[in-house]
Structure 1
Amino acid sequence: MQGGRGDANPLGRLILEIRRLERNPRHYGGVGPLTPTEIHTIDAIGREDGILMSELAARLGITKGAATQIIGRLEAKALVRRTPHPGDSRSVIVSLAEQGKAAHKAHEELHRSFYNQLRAELGAEGISTFEEGIEKFIAFLKK
Structure 2
Amino acid sequence: MEDSFAELMRELYLLMERMRRSRVAPTPEGVTPLEARTMIAVDEMGRHGETRPGRIAEFAHTTPSALSQAFKSLEEKGLIERHRSEGDCRGVTVTLTPEGERFAAEGRRLHSEHMKEVMAYVGEEDVRHLVRILRKIVDFHDNAASAAPGDAAPADATPNPEGGEAPCA
Q: TM-score per shorter chain, which class?
A: 0.5 to 0.7
1:85 aligns with 2:85: yes
Higher strand proportion, which one? Answer: 1
Deviations 1:55-76 (CA, angstroms, capped at 9, x unpaired): 2234345554443222112111
Task: Answer with 60-69 or 105-114: which moved more.
Answer: 60-69
1:41 equivalent in structure 2? 38
Note the alpha carbon deviations across 1:31-87, whole angstroms, 9 max, x for none: 4141x2222212211203360123223434555444322211211122211012133
Q: TM-score, normalised by structure 1?
A: 0.67
What percent identity do the matched residue pairs reach?
22
1:9-24 superposed matches below 5 A? 9=11, 12-13=14-15, 15-16=17-18, 18-21=20-23
Amino acid at match of 2:30: G
Query: CA RMSD of the aligned region, Å?
Result: 3.5
Q: How does 1:44-123 map to 2 (within 5 A)?
A: 44-49=41-46, 51-60=51-60, 62-121=62-121, 122-123=123-124
Aligned mates of 2:35, 2:45 — CA distance in 1: 17
Deviations 1:67-122 (A, max 9, x none): 32221121112221101213322211111122322221122112222333344451
Unaligned runs of 5+ in 1: 3-8
Q: How many residues align?
A: 133
2:30 to 26, 29, 32: 32
Unaligned stretches of 5+ residues in structure 2: 1-6, 145-169
- SS, match of residue 90 in structure 2: coil
* Contact 2:26 2:111 survives alignment (8 Å): no
State the alpha-carbon separation in 2 of the partners of residues 11 and 139 from structure 1. 19
- Who wins on radius of gyration, i.e. which is larger? 2
